[in-house]
Structure 1
Amino acid sequence: MSEQISERARLSGDCARCFGLCCVALPFAASADFAFAKPAGTPCRNLGGDHRCGIHAELRQKGFNGCTVYDCFGAGQQVSQVTFDGRDWRGGSGAEARRMFDAFLVVRQLHELLWYLTEALGLAAARPVHADLRTALRKTGELALGTPEELAALDVAAQRREVDVLLLRTSELARAGVRGRKKDRRGADLMGARLRGADLRGASLRGAYLIAADLTGADLRHADLIGADLRDADLRDADLTGAFFLTQPQLDAARGDAGTRLPASVTRPVHWTAAAL
């Protein structure tokens, strides 16, 4: 367990050790999540010379909900301090900056896989595939440590497919112990669905669209939530105890309260408490 906690800490964003890569490398369009549009490779106008966001404490109020639910899984500091050995994109050529941004996009995906693999190894029910999970964890970690050239040439999609086979098997093993019929809602369109008090114990909600769904009081214990879109989903009084493959960005995008029961892998979003005041 201590090894898992240590790995999770390493896979958490540390903005103080990053050169604001997510604020430059990523594009966004003017929408409910972003107050204005920005192309990839262009610094956000809110990014200061110290690589800090000038409106960080007011992102939601200023119309940047999208920023509040983003997590680089530690890719920012990895690329800034390790891949490019502490070299700031602002001090190099345009080509060097683009190499850094491209590397960030690749490492972010690999670190997300590392997060899932680390969680899978913490599930006792997945013991039959622990050896394969450790092998995948080691390989993915080594890929994330590649040079900018190696990262640029990497087939990330192929690595994701390889890891996903193991994560799917992990899900099947972890949900097998849940009594009763387990719902399969993989990739389901449940946007705005009325699921208040629904029994979703051990359900597969992999990639399900739960945008603005009413999950008030729903039982989501031991559900697989990998890739589920929980934007604006109402999780008040819902029970997510033992739910797995749930990331902090997913939870941050949802709505909940003090009555929402959460797995140990995530923390209760601060804005949930603020909304209740």
Structure 2
Amino acid sequence: MSDQSAGRPAGSELRGDCGSCFGLCCVALPFAASADFALDKPAGKPCPNLRDDHRCGIHARLRQKGFTGCTVYDCFGAGQKVSQVTFGGQDWRGAPGERARRMFEVFPLVRQLHELLWYLSEALTLPAARPVHAELRRALDRTEQLTLLPPEELAALDVGAHRQEVNVLLLRTSELARAGTPGGRGRRKDRRGADLIGARLKGADLRGASLRGAYLIAADLTGADLRGADLIGADLRDANLTDADLTGAFFLTQPQLNAARGSAGTRLPKSVARPAHWTARG
């Protein structure tokens, strides 16, 4: 669904491959008529724009047709994992009923696990996190093993509990990485979960800041210095990142970036790609 799928720190298994998926995000997930979606759709019902070949009939015109939410979504490769591995290439269209229901049930769970794989993979690229690399590798291996469970075991899995365990490691990784951020007062700022909706942060020094889960919806971050900041779970919908410097920012995902506004002058980490819809000046 997303505008971009390139640039991730891990391999292709953590990049959405729509050609190997049975359009699961377009069927399994619900959405409501809003600024992000042009209509209501319950979970388990195919989007009317989904073609018989599992491709989107309006993919090139999603934003114009009112489906912006589709352009910022990314399954982190969970779609092809569930389609080709968990269910061995068995299409939900040819197996309505229990198998289709189970496929739609486990897809969001595997998507959460793949997102964790993305974070763990990136954590292992951070030199400052070397003291916890062994633990991160074990957590990565364990998470990958969970994604390979059969459908019945996946459906019964407490993904929330596993996320909490992994989050302890990711928090430690964040502390180590941010401690090494050169200069700036931002590294001493803990803005976890902060309400920064519409905040005026133009030119702000946020180097090494923790913005985990912060609400930055429509915030003005024009020219802000976000080098070495932790952006895991930060809500960047409609945030203005024009000319901002996110070099070295970590745990930033492509969906977060796709939901924001930016420009050719926005400096990005190598782990993400510049969204196609960004204009020259945001």
TM-score normalised by the chain length of structure 1: 0.96
For residues 228 and 104 of structure 2, the distance between their equivalents in structure 1, rounded to whole angstroms, comes to: 37
- Selected match of 1:126 from 126, 129, 132: 129
- Selected match of 1:18 from 6, 17, 21: 21
Q: Which has the higher contact order (CA 8 A, sep 6+)?
A: 2
Cα offset, 1:80, TM superposition? 0.3
How many residue pairs were aligned? Answer: 273
> What's 1:189 paired with?
195
Residues 20-55 of structure 1, C-alpha deviation per residue, up to 9 Å, x if partnerless? Answer: 000000000100000001000000010011100000
For structure 2, the 5+ residue unaligned runs are 1-6
More helix by share: 1
Cα offset, 1:7, TM superposition? 3.2
4+ residue runs of structure 1 moved beyond 6 angstroms?
Answer: none
Q: Does 1:49 align with 2:52?
A: yes
Residues 200-259 of structure 1, C-alpha deviation per residue, up to 9 Å, x if partnerless? Answer: 000000000000000000000000000000000000000000000000000000000000
For structure 1, the 5+ residue unaligned runs are none
For residues 196 and 92 of structure 1, the distance between their equivalents in structure 2, rounded to whole angstroms, comes to: 53
> What's 2:205 paired with?
199
TM-score normalised by the chain length of structure 2: 0.94
For residues 276 and 127 of structure 1, the distance between their equivalents in structure 2, rounded to whole angstroms, comes to: 38
Q: Does 1:61 align with 2:67?
A: no
Report the aligned-residue RMSD.
1.4
> In the alignment, residue 108 of structure 1 is paired with which amino acid?
R
Change in CA separation of 1:24 and 1:252 when aligned onto 2, cut-off 3 Å: same
> What's 2:220 paired with?
214
Cα contact 1:8–1:115 (8 A) shared by 2: no
> What's 1:142 paired with?
145
Cα offset, 1:93, TM superposition? 2.8
Q: How does 1:86-105 map to 2 (within 5 A)?
A: 86-105=89-108
Residues 71-129 of structure 1, C-alpha deviation per residue, up to 9 Å, x if partnerless? Answer: 00000000000100000001013111010011111100000000000000000000000
Cα offset, 1:168, TM superposition? 0.2
- Selected match of 2:240 from 234, 245, 261: 234
For residues 79 and 29 of structure 1, the distance between their equivalents in structure 2, rounded to whole angstroms, comes to: 24
- Selected match of 2:265 from 246, 256, 259: 259
For residues 111 and 62 of structure 1, the distance between their equivalents in structure 2, rounded to whole angstroms, comes to: 29
Q: How does 1:110-125 map to 2 (within 5 A)?
A: 110-125=113-128
> What's 2:3 paired with?
none
> What's 2:81 paired with?
78
Cα contact 1:33–1:66 (8 A) shared by 2: yes
> In the alignment, residue 258 of structure 2 is paired with which amino acid?
D
Residues 151-208 of structure 1, C-alpha deviation per residue, up to 9 Å, x if partnerless? Answer: 0110000000000000000000000012343211100000000000000000000000
